[in-house]
Chains A and B, each alone.
Chain A
Amino acid sequence: GQSLEQPSEVTAVEGAIVQINCTYQTSGFYGLSWYQQHDGGAPTFLSYNALDGLEETGRFSSFLSRSDSYGYLLLQELQMKDSASYFCAVKDSSYKLIFGSGTRLLVRP
């Protein structure tokens, strides 16, 4: 079967750093994507890791360890506007994107 596990909810303070973890078990793996979705909005692409290591894009970074079937999204200098749901998604061998159930991030003042 195919499964992606991520925490259902995370709370952090404005200005802090938060890490959202994702573990996966899929039939075939090409890479791990991250998407952000505000309430009532559309998912928007944040990052993609095909190889092990850390990718940095501004305040957001994403990490992948293929041997551990594990990745995370790191958000630095949290802002109120970062309150949203974050989804990890696996690109599998059939070129589909399989989404996790999402992590709801609440940023408090």
Chain B
Amino acid sequence: EAGVAQSPRYKIIEKRQSVAFWCNPISGHATLYWYQQILGQGPKLLIQFQNNGVVDDSQLPKDRFSAERLKGVDSTLKIQPAKLEDSAVYLCASSLVVDKTYEQYFGPGTRLTVT
């Protein structure tokens, strides 16, 4: 079965610019997650979707970050405007159902550099 797909793999932008990331989860997986991973740290959950509804977005900086999951499949994460501290790897993951959140499948990530 195909894994979680993400694009782009790398992105370099200047501060105050905007950027968008795309994720396609494993087919049939109802739950989708976006994480931010800063170098040397563990993944930090930004937002969690169950189908196309938001389960948790308590750690999403809503003044600059937004995410959507149209039709309960693909998802996009946007940052506008970007700050230097947003430099990180953005990981998308999916799990079969929310009850199996302990077993997540991760995509390769997008490495964002903000200059």
Q: List chain A positions with a Cβ less than 8 A from chain B.
A: 4, 30-31, 33, 41-45, 48, 50, 87, 89, 91, 94-102
Q: Is the CB of B106 within 8 A of A42?
A: yes
Task: Choose from B43, B55, B102 the contact partner of A48 (Cβ within 8 Å).
Answer: B102
Contact (Cβ within 8 A) B45 A97: yes
- Chain A residues within 8 Å of B56, by CB: 94-96
Q: Is the CB of B101 within 8 A of A91?
A: yes
List CB contacts (< 8 Å) of B67-115 with chain A.
Answer: 91, 93, 98-99, 101-109
Q: A44-B106, A94-B56 are in contact. List 8 more A-B contacts (CB 8 A).
A: A30-B102, A33-B103, A42-B108, A48-B102, A95-B56, A96-B56, A97-B33, A101-B40
Complex Cα distance, B102 from A57, in Å, reads 16
A residues near B107, Cβ cutoff 8 Å: 42
Minimum Cβ distance to chain B for residue A27 (Å):
12
Q: How large is the interface on B (under 10, 10 to 19, 20 to 34, 35 or more residues)?
A: 20 to 34
CB < 8 Å: which of B4, B99, B102, B108 contacts A97? B102
- Output the least CB separation between B33 and chain A (Å): 8
- B residues with a Cβ closer than 8 A to A are 4, 33, 40-45, 48, 55-56, 91, 93, 98-99, 101-109
Contact of B108 among A41, A95, A96, A99 (CB under 8 A): A41
Would you give the shortest CB distance from B74 to chain A, in whole angstroms? 18
By a CB distance below 8 angstroms, the chain A residues around B102 are 30-31, 33, 48, 50, 89, 91, 97
Most chain-B Cβ atoms within 10 A of its Cβ — which of A30, A98, A99? A99
User: Which residues of chain B have C-beta atoms less than 8 A from A95's C-beta?
Assistant: 48, 55-56, 98-99, 101
Residues of B within 8 A of A98 (CB): 45
Q: Given the interface contacts A33-B103, A45-B105, does A100 sit within 8 Å of B55 by beta carbon?
A: no
For B41, B101, B106, the residue with the greatest tally of chain A CB atoms inside 10 Å of its CB is B101
